[in-house]
């Protein structure tokens, strides 16, 4: 390995900002923030979503009514819905 070209690989705490879930793992990600985890100080990386808050993993996944969304779009911008025109 060449000297001084590799990032520092160390323990880092990742925190889900939506629910406060934290986990410790190793990473080369850099951070200026630190946090205490199990009595030790580690760099902190904040993330918006994790397995504890993602709808796929939590089972709270919502099915979107895409037909209703498309119809609202056409109404909002005054377009004629091509699917409705074919039905007439």
Mean pLDDT of the chain: 83
pTM above 0.75, yes or no: no
What DSSP element (H or E) covers 40?
strand 40-47
Query: Closest Cα to residue 46, out of 37, 33, 27?
Result: 33
The string of pLDDT tens digits covering residues 2-30 is 888 888 899 999 999 888 899 999 999 99
The full set of domain ranges for the chain reads: 1-53, 62-88
Instruction: List phi, psi (to 5°) of 20.
Output: 85, 5
**Cα angle value 74/64/62 (rounded, 5°):** 160
């Amino acid at each position: 390995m060449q000297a001084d070209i590799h990032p520092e690989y160390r323990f880092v705490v990742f925190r889900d900002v939506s629910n406060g879930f934290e986990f410790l793992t190793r990473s080369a990600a850099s951070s200026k923030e630190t946090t205490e985890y199990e009595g030790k100080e580690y760099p902190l990386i904040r993330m918006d979503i994790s397995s504890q808050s993602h709808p796929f993993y939590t089972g709270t996944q919502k099915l979107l009514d895409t037909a209703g969304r498309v119809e609202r779009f056409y109404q909002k911008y005054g377009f004629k819905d091509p699917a409705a025109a074919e039905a007439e």
